[in-house]
């Protein structure tokens, strides 16, 4: 059966996001300029396989922020197939991420708030966050602050 699949499958190439490893690491994230938007883990571009069809890059840009491993299968397929609504959700997702990053930077630089204070500020409407989610949010805020400090 594998022989038949190989005959009919399109040519496969190394995934340009993970460079064929099947997972995205910090080096890939830096290379694709997604430091504050992705975490290391299974590559969503190749679905952890390390290979993609050679025409896949023509469908979806390798640095598409919205195409992450936690995106559900249906939404992933919509993005790949060029669904306008899914693409709009992706654009909105990226804008929200950029807005959040810029707000954290503003609260730190102008308000002189600590990472913990900024986290508490964002937790006000999210009163049902678990301790783990709170810790992850605070860690993310710290990464944003550190990233901003390194640029200064």
Question: In which band, very low, low, confident or very high, does the pLDDT at 2 lie, cut at 50, 70 and 90?
Answer: low
pLDDT value of position 150: 74
pTM, whole model, 2 decimals?
A: 0.80
Residue 97 clears pLDDT 60, i.e. is over it: yes
Q: For residue 126, give every residue at least 6 positions away whose Cβ sits within 8 Å of its Cβ, in sequence order, or none.
A: none
Residue 3 clears pLDDT 90, i.e. is over it: no
pLDDT value of position 54: 87
Residue 4 clears pLDDT 70, i.e. is over it: no
List alpha helices for the chain, DSSP H. 2-8, 26-31, 56-59, 73-80, 84-109, 115-123, 131-151
Helix axes 131-151, 115-123, angle to 10 degrees: 130
> What are the structure tokens assigned to 101, written together?
């990053």
Answer whether 69's CB lies under 8 Å from 34's CB.
Answer: no
């Amino acid at each position: 059966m594998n022989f038949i699949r190989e005959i009919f499958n399109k040519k496969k190439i190394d995934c340009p996001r993970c460079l064929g490893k099947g997972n995205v690491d910090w080096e890939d994230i830096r290379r694709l300029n997604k430091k504050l938007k992705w975490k290391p883990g299974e590559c969503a571009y190749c679905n952890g396989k390390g290979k993609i069809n050679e025409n896949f890059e023509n469908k979806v840009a390798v640095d598409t922020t919205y195409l992450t491993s936690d995106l559900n299968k249906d939404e992933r397929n919509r993005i790949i197939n060029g669904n306008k609504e899914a693409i709009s959700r992706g654009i909105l997702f990226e804008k929200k991420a950029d807005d959040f990053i810029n707000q954290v930077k503003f609260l730190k630089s102008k308000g002189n708030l600590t990472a913990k204070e900024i986290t508490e500020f964002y937790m006000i409407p999210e009163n049902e966050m678990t301790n783990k989610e709170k810790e992850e949010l605070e860690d993310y805020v710290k990464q944003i602050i550190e990233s901003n400090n390194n640029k200064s």
